[in-house]
Structure formats: structure tokens, C-alpha cells
Structure 1
Amino acid sequence: MSADSGLRPNDDRIAAMVRQYEVERFYYDEAALLDAHRYEEWIALFSDDAHYFMPIRRTRMQRELSKEFTQPGEMAFFDDDKTLLAGRVAKLKSGRSWAEDPPSRTRHLITNVRVVRDSGRELGVESNFHVYRTRLNSEESSWIGSRRDLLRRVEGSFQIADRKIFLEQTVLLSRNLSNFF
């Protein structure tokens, strides 16, 4: 057995590489839609039964780390289904959203994408993000965190069936939270 036999591509490795590429491409395309304010196309990436959840993070002692994030049903920055997300998008498009008129300029950076589970039809995916936003002439905000998504395979692509967003910050210094993650 040669020393490099573990590095030779096989069908499983090739399939995992293709899956990784497809997932990363999906996320990069999603980020481009958000940065271009193409929110209706972004909403179409979500399944009809999608859940979009961003808990509040609290500083806890080591023995209480299990209580660091609020749980579904408790206070949260976002606890939306697809209908609520679509309502937020409609408000942005209406021109009556004072927090986004004029619109913010954003950059969504997605990194450390890892497929942690693949059941065939659904993928469990973890990723990190940095969302940078600048508004008006001098207002800047930056959010860093991680996401845990459930992606569903649909017609040669994916739909987001569940997204949990975990910010690193415990205190948000931005004037509003009108963007998407």
C-alpha cells in the first residue's frame, strides 16, 4: 500500500467535494442577492415551512453556558416564518421603511462552510458570517456570528428550511436591525 493511497479520489470523496461546492455556491449566490437588494429572489430561497431564528445572546458564567442563548418561544431578535420574512421584504420595497430609506449598503461575507449532516434529502450546514453595513454618510455596523441551517434539496438546488443565527455580540450598537443574515 502506497503512502498516498489515502489521498486518491474515490466516488465518496468526489461526491463530498461536489456537495461542498454546491452548498458554498448556494451561500455565495444568497449573499450576492442580499447585497444587491434582490430580496424577493432571496425569499424564494426559503421553503414554505421555513423558520428564521436569531436568539438573543447573554453573557453567562461557565456553569450557565446552556442558557447563553434564548430559546424558541422566548425573546429573540427574529423568530420569523416565511410569511413574516416576506412582510419584512414588502415593507422594504414599499419605501415606507424609515430605517432603510435611503437603503443601506451591505456586504455579506460567508466562511467556514461545513456540511455536518446529510440525510439525502436534507443537509445540516454550519457557517460563519460577517455582515458589514454602512448607512447614510457615516453610520457603520458590523455583525459577526455563525449560522446553523437545514437545507432541503429541491429541483437541483437547495431551499432553506431552517436558519438559526448566533451573533457573537451580546450588545448591539447599531441603530436598527433591518438587514438579513
Structure 2
Amino acid sequence: MDQKEISTVPEPSGSRRGSLLERVEQFLFMEARLQDTHAYDEWEALWTEDAIYWVPANGATNPEMQMSIIYDNRSRIGVRVSQLKTGRHHTQTPRSELARIVSNVELVEQTRGEVEARANVFIFEDNLRGETLWAARNEYRLRVSDTGFMMVRKKVSLVNNHKPISTLSFLI
């Protein structure tokens, strides 16, 4: 990938500071903060209408043909957020305390107003069951809009997804 090419993505209004990589990093850091603080409406607003949110199971490569932990379109993302906001997810009563570290952010590709990136994410979860550490390799497709980046696709590949997962009832 040519760094000169990728830096030509049009800059959204209001975010003319920093390189493309720095702007992508800041977006991913903000998304992590919204997830950690249970800012569900703000997190949901980051998604495009044609969005896909995918957490594959057992190294699956095709969500249409193989089992997934999560495989949501935009409508289903909205349902998931609504369920979390009701307080009826008993595994989230009280809500988990979360802290994420987003690292190793890389730009993968840039095409027609969209940027593909990947990052490693480490999540600390504390709840009534105890403490859990989650590690993931995330892939993102971000679309440039007038207000900044929007998420078109997010794939969360849990490092230990081949093992039983007791519960995953927060925004991964």
C-alpha cells in the first residue's frame, strides 16, 4: 500500500488535524470509550445504514455459511442496543465495568471515501461473576462523512474464540 495514496482521503469538516492514521486512531479510541461507558445511543450513531457487525466463531471466514457469535446488520445493531438499554440483560445487572486498550492500529486500504484499518483490542471486564480479559483482532471499514468517520463494517476476531464463552452481553 502506498502511504501517499492513503493520505489523499478527503478530510471531513471539523477534523483537519493530524494524518489519516491519527484521525483513524482517534475515532477508534472514541468508539472504545463509548462502549466502555455504555454510551449506547452515541455508539449506535457511529454506524452507517448498510453496516455489518461481525464476531466470528471458531475462525469462521464466511458469516453466511458458518456460525457466528454475532452477525448483525444495521437493524439488528439497533435491536441489540435497545436490549442493552432496557436493563433486562440479567448478565448485565449491574452493568459490567469495562476498560479497553486499542493498539497496533494499521491502515490497510483506502478506496473511494472509505478506509480499512485493523487494530488489536484488549478488554478488561469486571462484573459480579468476576474479572474477564478479552483479546481481539479487529478489522474496520470506515466511511468518510461530513461529520467524520462512520463504521460500515466491524469484525471482531476474539483470540480465544475456539473456547467456550460463558457470556458476552456487552458491546465487544
Q: Which runs of 5+ in 2 are unaligned?
A: 9-17
- TM-score, normalising length: structure 2: 0.85
Residues 100 and 178, structure 1, Cα contact 8 Å, conserved in 2: yes
SS of equivalent residue, structure 1 residue 140? strand
Following the alignment from structure 1 to structure 2, what is the Cα–Cα distance between the partners of residues 128 and 120? Answer: 25
1:143 and 2:134 are equivalent in the alignment = yes
- TM-score, normalising length: structure 1: 0.81
1:167 and 2:161 are equivalent in the alignment = no
The size of the alignment, in residue pairs, is: 158
Counterpart code for 2:136: G
Q: Which runs of 5+ in 1 are unaligned?
A: 1-11, 58-67
Query: Which structure 2 residues correspond to residues 20-59 of structure 1 after superposition, within 5 A?
Result: 20-57=21-58
Counterpart code for 2:145: V
Residues 60 and 68, structure 2, Cα contact 8 Å, conserved in 1: no
Following the alignment from structure 2 to structure 1, what is the Cα–Cα distance between the partners of residues 29 and 110? Answer: 20
Following the alignment from structure 1 to structure 2, what is the Cα–Cα distance between the partners of residues 108 and 39? Answer: 16
Task: Give 1 or 2: higher helix fraction.
Answer: 1
Partner of 2:62: 71
Residues 52 and 152, structure 2, Cα contact 8 Å, conserved in 1: yes
Residues 138 and 155, structure 2, Cα contact 8 Å, conserved in 1: yes
Residues 70 and 76, structure 1, Cα contact 8 Å, conserved in 2: no
SS of equivalent residue, structure 1 residue 96? coil
Counterpart code for 2:92: E
Pair member with larger Rg = 1
What is the alpha-carbon root mean square deviation over aligned residues?
A: 1.9
